Amino acid sequence: MTFAAVPFNDLQRGTESIRAELDAVIARVVSSGWFVLGPEHDAFESELAAYVGTAHAINVGNGTDALELGLAALGVIPGSLVLTVANAGAYTSTATRLLGAEPVYVDIDPETHLMSGATLERAIAGCGDVPAAIVVTHLYGALAPMDEILIVAAKHNIPVLEDCAQSLGARANGTMGGAFGHISTTSFYPTKNLGALGDGGAVMTNSAELAERVRRMRQYGWASKYSIESAHGRNSRLDELQAAILRVKLPRLDAANQRRRDIHAVYESAVATSSHTNELRLVNTATERFIAHLAVLETVDRTGARAALDATGIKTDVHYPVPDHQQKWPDFSPRHMPLDVSERAAGRIFSVPMFPELTDGEVARVAEALSAL
Ligand SMILES: *Cc1c(COP(=O)(O)O)cnc(C)c1O
């Protein structure tokens, strides 16, 4: 018996489904003769800010630049400490290192795999100096408990950056992730829930002052044309073409996120009927706090589970196999703090296919395979 593979992701499907509209806006930009920081760019900034519910959105070149500029705007300088988790793919660590600052890792909650108020409090107590910023990553599409995190952050007077690259559209009690912290960031890398046809990113904030700092830094530190008045300037801009493409996709984001949640709910039912011999569980559940960027499972027998799925043609991956503090960073030895939960999770997690254009038949096949684990 042979079966077609269930791909881990297939960007072509989503692109083809809106191909005519994409072609039309691409033609519009090409004809306009305006390719950087033009009307599509400005319109997308307004639309994104309105969607997230912040006063400002500032487009930049990618999600890692967004983190770096967001942290710089908060006052992170060489030698600063930045608190973050070690299980979120090292993007924040990379941005922090680019600023000459030092990431200090906070362990994760064993249920949610996210930072919690308690794990944050422990890390602050353990790190000695006063950190300059906290980066909360809403990993896999699930919002971290911002209420308790903000209480701890306020107690120690540390500003909070939310990384929404995987969570754009997730809400808690009516507020969208990205509108809780002092500043927030996202990425429009093609596989994100809101993805461009290339690189892109944005910074969101309610503070006019923070917004202005990021706006200057993204373009050489200019306060006005050719007048450099801010430190840490560089070139990090979003093209007109990508902005126009994102304007087509943003109005479809909520529906796409809901389709992902519905798929996740099918997986949840399947896992509920599995024998759980290997402590199999899905890390998240389909609520408004979660936009199912990834469908991540945890099991004590990851090798066996992945092999069983692979045998039925279902592709899997691991997000992320190497915690940040165990990367082979040249010239960097992270401060030693216990990260038992992050390390255990890295050895147990795996991700199954999750994208809105999965067919019902493919979803059923994944569900059947999960219930047989
Ligand atoms: C993708 C991602 C980033 C980095 O975005 P790029 O656009 O690839 O630089 C940052 N944080 C998280 C959580 C991400 O998933």
Whose Cα sits closest to atom 3 in ligand 1? 63
What does the pLDDT average to over 312-341?
95
Q: Are 294 and 355 in contact (CB under 8 A)?
A: no
From the list 147, 142, 154, 68, the residue with the least C-alpha distance to 103 is 68
Whole-angstrom Cα distance, residue 110 to residue 96?
25
Q: Report the pLDDT value the prediction gives residue 220, as an integer from 0 to 100.
A: 98
Q: What is the DSSP string of 57-90?
A: EEEES-HHHHHHHHHHHTT--TT-EEEEESSSTT
What does the pLDDT average to over 15-42?
98
- Ligand 1 in reach of 162 Cβ (< 6 A): no
Whose Cα sits closest to atom 12 in ligand 1? 165
Q: Report the pLDDT value the prediction gives residue 4, as an integer from 0 to 100.
A: 86
- What percent of the chain is modeled with pLDDT above 70? 99
Q: Is the model more confident about 333 or about 307?
A: 307
What does the pLDDT average to over 204-228?
98
Q: Are 186 and 161 in contact (CB under 8 A)?
A: no
pLDDT tens-digit map of 242-289? 999 999 999 999 999 999 999 999 999 999 998 777 889 999 999 999
pLDDT tens-digit map of 30-47? 999 999 999 999 999 999
What spacing in Å lies between the alpha carbon of 178 and ligand 1's midpoint? 14
3-state secondary structure of 115: coil
What spacing in Å lies between the alpha carbon of 142 and ligand 1's midpoint? 15
From the list 24, 193, 125, the residue with the least C-alpha distance to 338 is 125
- Ligand 1 pocket test, pick from 87, 143, 189 with the greatest ligand atom count within 8 Å of Cβ, gives 189
Q: Which atom of ligand 1 is nearest to the CA of 293?
A: 15
Whose Cα sits closest to atom 5 in ligand 1? 63
Q: What is the DSSP letter of 252?
A: G
Print the SS3 string covering 146-215: HHHHHHHHHHCCCCEEEECCCCCCCEECCEECCCCCCEEEEECCCCCCCCCCCCCEEEEECCHHHHHHHH
How many CB atoms sit inside 10 A of residue 283's CB? 21
Q: Which atom of ligand 1 is nearest to the CA of 66?
A: 9
Task: Characterise 3 by phi-psi region: left (phi > 0), alpha (psi -120 to 50), beta (else).
Answer: beta
pLDDT tens-digit map of 252-263? 999 999 999 999
Q: Report the pLDDT value the prediction gives residue 278, as an integer from 0 to 100.
A: 82
Whose Cα sits closest to atom 4 in ligand 1? 63
Whole-angstrom Cα distance, residue 316 to residue 365?
13
pTM over 0.95: yes
- Ligand 1 pocket test, pick from 9, 60, 64 with the greatest ligand atom count within 8 Å of Cβ, gives 64
- Ligand 1 in reach of 236 Cβ (< 6 A): no
- Ligand 1 in reach of 189 Cβ (< 6 A): yes
- What percent of the chain is modeled with pLDDT above 90? 95
pLDDT tens-digit map of 142-179? 999 999 999 999 999 999 999 999 999 999 999 999 99
Whole-angstrom Cα distance, residue 128 to residue 308?
46
Q: Report the pLDDT value the prediction gives residue 349, as an integer from 0 to 100.
A: 98
**H helix or E strand, kind and range, residue 49:** helix 39-52
From the list 84, 113, 117, 128, the residue with the least C-alpha distance to 325 is 84
How high does pLDDT run on average in the chain? 97
Instruction: Tell whether the model's pLDDT for residue 121 goes beyond 80.
Output: yes
- From residue 25, alpha-carbon distances to 15, 120, 202, 366 in Å are 13, 45, 21, 36
Whole-angstrom Cα distance, residue 345 to residue 328?
19
What spacing in Å lies between the alpha carbon of 91 and ligand 1's midpoint? 6
Q: Are 178 and 164 in contact (CB under 8 A)?
A: yes
Whole-angstrom Cα distance, residue 82 to residue 97?
10
- Ligand 1 in reach of 63 Cβ (< 6 A): yes
Q: Report the pLDDT value the prediction gives residue 128, as an integer from 0 to 100.
A: 86
351: pLDDT confidence band, cut at 50, 70 and 90? very high
User: CA torsion, points 263, 63, 164, 154, in degrees to nearest 10?
Assistant: 160
What spacing in Å lies between the alpha carbon of 1 and ligand 1's midpoint? 39
Whole-angstrom Cα distance, residue 326 to residue 109?
19
- Ligand 1 in reach of 201 Cβ (< 6 A): yes
Which domains can be identified in the chain, with CATH numbers?
12-107+114-251 (3.40.640.10), 253-372 (3.90.1150.10)
Q: Report the pLDDT value the prediction gives residue 275, as an integer from 0 to 100.
A: 79
Instruction: Tell whether the model's pLDDT for residue 1 goes beyond 80.
Output: no
- Ligand 1 pocket test, pick from 164, 187, 236, 351 with the greatest ligand atom count within 8 Å of Cβ, gives 187
Query: How many Cα atoms are found within 13 Å in the side-chain-facing hemisphere of 51?
Result: 22
From the list 136, 120, 143, 144, the residue with the least C-alpha distance to 70 is 136
202: pLDDT confidence band, cut at 50, 70 and 90? very high
What spacing in Å lies between the alpha carbon of 124 and ligand 1's midpoint? 25
3-state secondary structure of 114: coil
Q: Report the pLDDT value the prediction gives residue 2, as an integer from 0 to 100.
A: 57
- Ligand 1 in reach of 62 Cβ (< 6 A): yes
Whose Cα sits closest to atom 6 in ligand 1? 63
Whose Cα sits closest to atom 13 in ligand 1? 165
**Phi, psi at residue 81, to the nearest 5°?**
-100, 135
